């Protein structure tokens, strides 16, 4: 019950970002245990008798694609496709995160089952239950916005690790003074500037370099991602409420985005190379 309540609260906090995705522009298909689900427009898919998975769950959309490792529940190769769209930030498939993972022990992963699978148009939600807790992945198929988050309900804190794709790096935004990620490529007539940020709720960042962040996420917390103009809003960001959240705990998309940063440089731990490849700075 606590997990369900927390999810509803956190989902409401993310609504403003989700609302900026053009309605009808996305369409997810999900392949699990060798079977692909892609319901008709306006319909939902909830497979009968689906309780376990093996290998990878493949999530493929118009704008977004990623895999879920059934053994570890880690998200792999979260990618923007670059499909034509007025809000797109890339013009070809670009891996935004090589991995987004929760550090769960074998004991915490024991007995993993799927308790909810909800696929409808541009939205996909899945809940895993283990002997120790619950883990939810929520995603939207959009060119930008608040389109991904991972939520936990375990007895204690869980470490999350985010590792960027090979062309991206974390940097300090010279306009806002906050940490963003991107590839440093300025906007032009074909795309917006690629900008994003990690979006924590009831989570503490414990490590940061040019390629990686680590977070300690408390029970009821989540770690999401925001892409595009929402990632450069000048507001204070989300608070640490997990219940009875008030309007002041929300941004609601009312704060204008800042201008794009100029020639951002990687934080220590990464350096820009040729053809957009970012190298770890040893």
Taking only the tens place, the pLDDT of each residue in 227-240 is 998 898 776 555 55
Interatomic CA distance for residues 118 and 127, integer angstroms: 9
Please state the domain extents for the chain. 2-35+54-280
Interatomic CA distance for residues 168 and 276, integer angstroms: 8
pTM: 0.86
- Give the pair of three-digit tokens for residue 115: 């308790």
* Residue found under tokens 């608070």: 239
Which residues 6+ apart lie within 8 Å of 162 measured at CB? 97, 99, 100, 198, 212, 213, 214, 215, 223
Interatomic CA distance for residues 97 and 162, integer angstroms: 7
Q: Is 143 left (phi over 0), alpha (psi -120 to 50) or beta?
A: alpha
Phi, psi of 249 (to 5 degrees): -85, 0
pLDDT value for 9: 38
Q: What's the Cα-to-Cα distance from 161 to each of 1, 18, 94, 220, 224, rounded to whole Å? A: 27, 23, 20, 17, 12
pLDDT tens string 115-143: 999 999 999 999 999 999 999 999 999 99
pLDDT tens string 142-185: 999 988 999 999 999 999 999 999 999 999 999 999 999 999 99
Q: Would you say 63 and 88 are in contact if contact means Cβ atoms under 8 Å apart?
A: yes
Q: Where are the beta strands (DSSP E) in 70-185?
A: 75-80, 94-102, 113-120, 123-129, 133-140, 145-154, 158-164, 169-172, 179-182
């Amino acid at each position: 019950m606590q997990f369900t309540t927390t999810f509803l609260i956190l989902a409401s906090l993310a609504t403003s970002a989700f609302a900026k995705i053009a309605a009808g522009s996305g369409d997810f298909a999900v392949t699990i245990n060798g079977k692909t689900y892609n319901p008709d427009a306006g319909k939902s898919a909830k497979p009968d008798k689906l309780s376990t998975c093996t290998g990878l769950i493949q999530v493929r959309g118009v704008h977004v694609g990623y895999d879920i490792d059934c053994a570890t529940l880690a998200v792999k190769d979260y990618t923007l496709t670059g499909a034509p769209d007025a809000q797109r930030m890339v013009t070809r498939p670009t891996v935004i995160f090589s991995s987004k993972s929760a550090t769960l022990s074998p004991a915490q992963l024991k007995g993993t089952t799927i308790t909810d699978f909800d696929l409808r148009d541009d939205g996909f939600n899945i809940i895993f239950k283990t002997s120790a807790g619950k883990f939810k992945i929520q995603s939207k198929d959009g060119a930008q916005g608040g389109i991904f988050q991972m939520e936990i309900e375990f007895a204690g804190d869980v470490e999350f690790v985010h590792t960027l794709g090979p062309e991206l790096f974390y940097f300090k935004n010279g306009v806002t003074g906050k940490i963003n990620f991107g590839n440093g490529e300025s906007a032009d007539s074909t795309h917006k500037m690629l900008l994003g940020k990690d979006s924590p709720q009831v989570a503490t960042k414990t490590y940061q370099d040019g390629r990686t962040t680590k977070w300690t996420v408390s029970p009821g917390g989540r770690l999401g991602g925001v892409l595009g103009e929402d990632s450069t809003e000048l507001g204070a960001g989300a608070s640490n409420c997990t219940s009875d959240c008030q309007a002041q705990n929300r941004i609601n998309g009312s704060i204008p985005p800042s201008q794009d940063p100029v020639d951002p440089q990687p934080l220590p731990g990464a350096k820009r190379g040729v053809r957009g490849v970012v190298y770890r700075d040893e």
